[in-house]
Amino acid sequence: MRVKYVLNEVLVGLWRNVTMSIAMIITMSVSLFALGASVLMYMQVDQMKDFYYGEIQVSIFLREDVTEAQRNAINQAIDTNPLVKDKTYETRAEAFKRFQVMWQDSPDFINSVGPDSLPESFRVKLKDPEQYKAFADQIQGQQGIQDIVDQRELLNKVFDIFNTIQLGSLIGAVFMAGAALLLVGNTIQVAAYSKRREVAVMKLVGASNWFIQAPFVLEAVVAGLIGSIFAFIALFLIKVVLLDGRLQALTNVLTPIPDGNVWLMLPLLAAAGAGVSAITGWITLRFYLRV
Amino acid sequence: MIQLENVTKTYPKASRPSLDNVSVGIEKGEFVFFIGPSGSGKSTIIKLLLHEVSPSAGRVMVNAKDVTTMRSWKIPHFRRSIGCVFQDFRLLPNRTAYENVAFALEVIGKTKAVARRVVPEVLELVGLGGKEHRYPHELSGGEQQRVAVARAFVNRPLILLADEPTGNLDPDTSIEIMRLLDRINRTGTTVVMVTHDSNIVNQMRRRVIEIESGRIVRDQARGVYG
């Protein structure tokens, strides 16, 4: 009986103040969407780091006038270095071949570069890509090296962009959550005011506090849950329609987002939406429904 | 049953206390009038007994429980042993007489089946048999107050508090309500009534406690108003 009473009160409450309820649900879903997007992006960057850091190499380009002895010395220095996992050597001819394949769509550009204009190089994979600095310092002293390039630095620039977007969406989520909280608080105040006679009688005859407050708090929680479902649907649609559809080329570069991660957002957003609403509702009522 | 021990109540921003060092005891089954001019502090006693306000000093005992030190989560359960009626009835306008009384039972966790058994009984007792399904606006003032009394009494409280229950009623209707309260008192319920209706006090010839400027100036076993 009591459960039925409380549920009925919740539905009646949401309907009685339907414009406020809709406003509450919309702000909730926008805020939770931004939160979900931010978390997904965070997981994505993590996953991409794992993937790309496993692939990256340090390239040691040799000078054009490098001698046989210098090359051997460098080779030996790399082989004996404990930081190195494995190493390949690329001759000028091989470098040019790769260059030809890479730019095969622009024959003019290829023709302007002679087979001798690309340097020979060692391509080194480190056991721990973070150790680049130490490795570079140890090899730098060798004669005949023109340049040492770490691909990690290039990747870091890309990741910095992702991190900025993710942070931006998190800040957006926080501001929207602030607006959602104020709306929840206001909606509950209005609801409590419109039911003030009932509340006064309930207090008078000794209804327990949870019984008086539960319908109001649950009203906010239900709105939060509905908002989280909308936010999840939006995330899912964007993933299916944009990332798996039109922008697939982009996703191939960025490593695809696993469906599991998107599904994970449903319980996460639901918990965030319901939890935030419940806490706000409860705090509001502590000020407006004193015994 | 009710014990006030050196109770002082000063509201914030008030220049003088509403109750000033008041001590009074009320036994089980008594019928007591608190009388006095407006602002004398008599309504504050009702608020103290319901624990709507806490005393600034002193102790309030109800049903052998110290209300003053009661934890706030225990107050709702405590209030179930006290019924209360007011000058303005405080009925829910969108509910019938039956629903108003049943509401008081349902919100403290009684089932609908209990309400179906108990509510018609108590409405019959207050003389509203046959008018269960009228809304408050379809009832006279006296009948509305009867609904309020039924709601206060449906849970068979040990104490019935009445804050100027006849304040909005004409003399004849007032006497009917007093007969009803008297009948409830005869079932063993302690009745505490705050009023400044001299006719009623003079007719009932019950214990009268007069309060003036927050102090008890008279306590008479079978008193009259003035």
- Identify the DSSP state of B169: S
B80-122 per-position pLDDT tens digit = 999 999 999 999 999 999 999 999 999 998 988 999 999 999 9
Contacts of A286 in chain B (CB under 8 A): none
Is B188 part of any domain?
no
Q: How many domains does chain B have?
A: 1
AA identity, residue B175 = I
In chain B, % of residues over pLDDT 70: 100
Distance CA A285, CA A288 (A): 5
Query: Is B186 at the interface with chain A, CB within 8 A?
Result: no
Nearest Cβ partner for A197 among B73, B92, B106:
B92
Query: Is B193 at the interface with chain A, CB within 8 A?
Result: no
Q: Do A5 and B106 touch (CB under 8 A)?
A: yes
Give all strands of the β-sheet with A84-90 in edge-to-edge order. A84-90, A121-126, A58-62, A145-150
Higher per-residue confidence, A71 vs B62: B62
| Cα dihedral sign, A26-A31-A35-A41 | positive
Contacts of B103 in chain A (CB under 8 A): 198, 201
Is B49 part of any domain?
yes
Distance CA A94, CA B92 (A): 91
Higher per-residue confidence, B57 vs B72: B57
Distance CA B65, CA B67 (A): 6
The phi, psi pair for A95, rounded to 5°, reads -60, -40
Is B171 part of any domain?
no
ipTM of this model? 0.90
Pairing of strands B207-212, B215-220: antiparallel
Distance CA A37, CA A272 (A): 14
CA distance A253 to chain B (A): 60
Confidence band, pLDDT 50/70/90 cuts, at residue B192: very high
Is B124 part of any domain?
no
Which residue segment(s) compose the domain that B216 sits in? 1-79+195-226
- Residue B181, pLDDT above cutoff 90: yes
Is B147 part of any domain?
no
Query: Is A209 at the interface with chain B, CB within 8 A?
Result: yes
- Quick check: A281 and A13 in contact, CB under 8 A? no
The residue in chain A having the minimum alpha-carbon distance to the alpha carbon of residue B152 is A205
- Quick check: A239 and A232 in contact, CB under 8 A? no
Query: Is A291 at the interface with chain B, CB within 8 A?
Result: yes
Q: What is the pLDDT of residue A291?
A: 52
- The CA-atom distances, in angstroms, between A264 and each of A25, A36, A39, B70 are 21, 10, 10, 47
Is B25 part of any domain?
yes
Label residue A253 exposed, middle or buried (CB < 10 Å: 0-12, 13-18, 19+).
Answer: exposed
CA-closest candidate to residue B79, choices A70, A251, A202 = A202
Distance CA B82, CA B69 (A): 18
- Which three-class secondary structure string do you get for chain A? CHHHHHHHHHHHHHHHCHHHHHHHHHHHHHHHHHHHHHHHHHHHHHHHHHHHHHHCCEEEEECCCCCHHHHHHHHHHHHHCCCEEEEEEECHHHHHHHHHHHCCCCHHHHHHCCCCCCCCEEEEEECCHHHHHHHHHHHHCCCCEEEEEEHHHHHHHHHHHHHHHHHHHHHHHHHHHHHHHHHHHHHHHHHHHHCHHHHHHHHHHCCCHHHHHHHHHHHHHHHHHHHHHHHHHHHHHHHHHHHHHHCHHHHHHHCCCCHHHHHHHHHHHHHHHHHHHHHHHHHHHHHHCCC
CATH assignment of A64-143, among 1.20.1090.10, 3.40.50.1820, 3.30.70.3040, 3.40.50.1220: 3.30.70.3040
CA distance A211 to chain B (A): 7
Give all strands of the β-sheet with B207-212 in edge-to-edge order. B82-86, B159-163, B190-195, B31-35, B207-212, B215-220
Query: Is B109 at the interface with chain A, CB within 8 A?
Result: yes
Q: What is the pLDDT of residue A255?
A: 67
CATH label of the domain that carries residue B66: 3.40.50.300
The phi, psi pair for A119, rounded to 5°, reads -80, 155
In chain B, % of residues over pLDDT 90: 79
Query: Is A4 at the interface with chain B, CB within 8 A?
Result: no
Contacts of A209 in chain B (CB under 8 A): 73, 76
Q: Among A204, A208, A211, A289, which would you mutate to test the B interface (most chain B Cβ atoms within 10 Å of its Cβ)? A: A204
Distance CA B45, CA B25 (A): 12
Q: What is the mean pLDDT of chain B?
A: 93
Contacts of B77 in chain A (CB under 8 A): 206, 208
Distance CA B80, CA A208 (A): 10
Pairing of strands B190-195, B82-86: unpaired
- Residue B15, pLDDT above cutoff 70: yes
Rg (CA), chain B: 17
Nearest Cβ partner for B103 among A201, A208, A291:
A201
Distance CA A28, CA A138 (A): 55
Q: What is the pLDDT of residue B160?
A: 96
pLDDT tens-place values along chain A, 291 residues long = 567 777 888 888 888 788 888 988 998 899 899 888 888 888 877 777 777 777 777 888 888 888 888 888 888 888 888 888 888 888 888 888 877 777 777 777 777 777 777 888 888 888 877 777 788 888 777 888 888 887 777 777 877 887 888 888 888 888 888 888 888 888 888 888 888 899 999 999 999 888 888 888 998 899 999 999 999 999 988 888 877 777 666 666 666 777 788 888 899 999 999 999 999 988 888 887 765
Domain boundaries, chain A: 2-52+156-288, 64-143
Query: Is A211 at the interface with chain B, CB within 8 A?
Result: yes
- Quick check: B207 and B30 in contact, CB under 8 A? yes
Query: Is A203 at the interface with chain B, CB within 8 A?
Result: yes
- Whether this prediction's pTM lies above 0.80 is answered by no
The phi, psi pair for B3, rounded to 5°, reads -140, 120
